[in-house]
A and B are shown apart, each in its own frame.
Chain A
Amino acid sequence: MTIDREKLLDIYTRTMKVAGFDEKMRSLLMSGKLATIYYTMRGQELVTSAMMAALNQDDYLVTTYRGQHDQIAKGVPLDLLIAEIAGRATGTCKGKGGSMHITHPATGVMVTTGVVGSGLPIANGLALSSQNKKDGKVTVTCFGDGATNIGAFHEALNMAQLYKLPVIFLCQNNHYGEHTAFADHTKVDSIVTRAAAYGMRGVKVDGNDAVAMYAAAKDAVDRARAGEGPTLIEAMCYRMMGHFFGADFSYMPPEHIEEMKAQDPLPKLNALMLEHQFPQAELDAIVAKLAAELDAAVAFAFDSPFPDADEIRKDVFEEEIAA
């Protein structure tokens, strides 16, 4: 499998943008400059960057609370994203959604749900709209292995295949559903085996292998766009920290921690870039540029005003609620 250099650089840039953001968020939380619920995606940066690099800007994304990597990789501007997480009026959702409900239709981010598994049926609806309108868009919905045991997963996959919808179910299998290890919540070896139960195409891929992950993503997108129906992608990856930031993860056995450290996508991707003749200095320059952009975004967020209290009467319905 090969990948063209331009696409690889695109994936690298998206990945490092996510990684820089995550590191910054954790530092803001640790220092007390920011106080909010935050679900770090440390370890899952590459999976989503390769997926989003296979999409167009106007393709749809539905993701979950652990979805900041998906949103950034899809293109949500960092300043609006961080302002939203910080509860500012300038945030994507005017401070009304927060990190678990990021929405940014301009970059195709239609829903971020805080309810495990609920995004899958909604993704079908977006895809159904594209099928009826023939607008050529593809919908991707991201979720974890934990979401595959809720009824919505079953209903959504069955309906998607029944209607041959242009939707991709991207399961980022990070080996844990909240604090419960995969083997303790599921008795099949792989999520992807479930695709067969719906007559759906299923692909299992190493989500920390940029070339393989991009190839799987691109193939699924091309098929969906061509009207060949949905794909369930099971991308193997690791959640290198706890369920939410600050949560205990002592329940992870030492051998699992060793295994995931060895598979850390960031050093692996860097090595791949060098293999593809990108000089380290060029990569460092990209990271430095992203860091400057990130600092400006953080400054924008913290300089922004909080929302007016009146906002609680707006956006409940189209018409404002009377005071």
Chain B
Amino acid sequence: MSDTETLEASASKAKKPKQITMVQALNAALDEAMAADEGVILLGEDVGAKQGGGVFKVSSGLSEKYGDHRIRATPISEQAIMGACVGAALAGMRPIAEIMLMNFVTVAMDQIVNHAAKLRFMSGGQTNVPMVIRTTTGVGVGFGGQHSDMLEAWFAHVPGLKIVTPSNAADAKGLMRSAIECNDPVIFIENILCYGLKSEDPGVDYRVPLGKAAVAREGSDVTLITYGRTVLDALEVAETLAGEGVSVEVIDLRTIAPYDEATVTASVRKTGRAVVLHEAVRSYGTGAEIASRLHEALFNELKAPVQRIGGAFSAVPMASVLEQAWIPSKDEIADAIRTTMEWKR
């Protein structure tokens, strides 16, 4: 064993990479952003120390450190939370609205769609709304029809909004810092089922740029495009199919809108086949937009039509057996890929 190897071995032993959960990653991103900029504030229900630092503990410890004037525990008033963030953003602050669950965002749609998204444009660029709307959701924990929806397609349809969702803790940290620094409104979707996922701590001041997808696994036969929690399913299915001799490239969009067309199109140009997967309802989902764009760009090069997989066309059910039937299963994902592979013109 050479000296260098010995040194490396001892260094890695001494500095075992620290693992952090997504909740810790988000908490650290907020903490770093608040330390760096007085204008960063958080408004939301139960977010202060008096309320326990948020229902999912993402803001734990922050009100003690930065004060109640920067971590503002609010009444249950989503319109007022959102409007206050819009106003504070117009005045040059970088507010973060924590909306406990994505379905509750619907209560504040006017402020998001008519105001946050449009004020830069309608003012001719005189004002802008640098705010982050943090919210969480997720199918698979039995929360039922009003606590589980993924509504990203609603917002992707509105000019002026950016939509981000991390699939792992490191990305959560880097995307959150970038979202806070973005000069336009960003909807940051967290998934309850991902909060406990661990990544290697990417360290302080880590950033993941908005608008850039990641190739989560390289492959050559088919591109599986997804984001958020379903990236985990996608990677598992890719591993299974590798055993069948199918090489799946998995793309984690990370930013849903604006869509990283360059990365996705390049991958599908390479593989000639694509499947789009999301947890949100399949009908009129973002998968339809992505599939359509791929058909427009690569019609003559595609070896098979782009497949779409998404949630069933019903409210998210509560009973576990129904919930599992509702959500795209790994078998469904694998079957869609096999269909694409076996497609005959």
A residues apposed to B, CB below 8 Å: 60, 62, 91-97, 101, 103-105, 110-111, 113-115, 118, 120-133, 139, 151-152, 155-156, 158-159, 162-163, 314-318
Contacts and interface: CB of A to CB of B under 8 A. Distances in A.
Contact of B87 (A94, A123, A152): A123
A92 B110 contact: no
A132 B110 CA distance: 26
Contacts of B294: none
B52 interface: no
A118 B111 contact: yes
20 contacts: A62-B87, A96-B121, A96-B123, A97-B123, A104-B126, A110-B127, A111-B115, A111-B127, A113-B115, A115-B110, A118-B115, A122-B83, A125-B88, A129-B93, A132-B41, A133-B91, A151-B79, A156-B80, A158-B75, A317-B184
B92 interface: yes
Contact of B122 (A96, A139, A318): A96
Given A118-B111, A159-B75, A318-B183, A124 B124 contact: no
Residue picked from A94, A95, A118, A122, most chain B C-beta under 10 Å: A122
Contact of B127 (A103, A113, A120, A129): A103
Contacts of A130: 91
B159 interface: yes
A122 B81 CA distance: 9
A111 to B, nearest CB: 7
Contacts of B125: 94, 314-315
B114 A103 contact: no
A96 B159 CA distance: 14
Given A132-B69, A159-B74, A316 B159 contact: yes
B69 A131 contact: yes
The interface size bin for chain B is 35 or more
Majority SS at the chain B contact face:
mixed
When A and B form their complex, which 4 residue pairs have the shortest distance between CB atoms, in order from nearest?
A: A125-B87, A121-B83, A94-B124, A129-B91
A118 B114 contact: yes
A318 B181 CA distance: 12
B68 to A, nearest CB: 10
B122 A124 contact: no
A100 B162 CA distance: 25
Contacts of B124: 91-97, 103, 315
A90 to B, nearest CB: 10
Contact of A103 (B69, B92, B123): B123
Contacts of B79: 121, 151-152, 155-156
Interface in B145-162: 159-160, 162
A111 B119 contact: yes
B84 interface: yes
Given A115-B114, A126-B88, A316-B159, A120 B83 contact: yes
B120 interface: yes
Contacts of B162: 317
A196 B121 CA distance: 38
A315 B111 contact: no
A92 B123 CA distance: 7
Contacts of B83: 118, 120-122, 124-125, 152, 155-156
Given A132-B70, A317-B160, A155 B88 contact: no
Nearest to B123: A103
B268 interface: no
B75 A105 contact: no
B194 interface: no
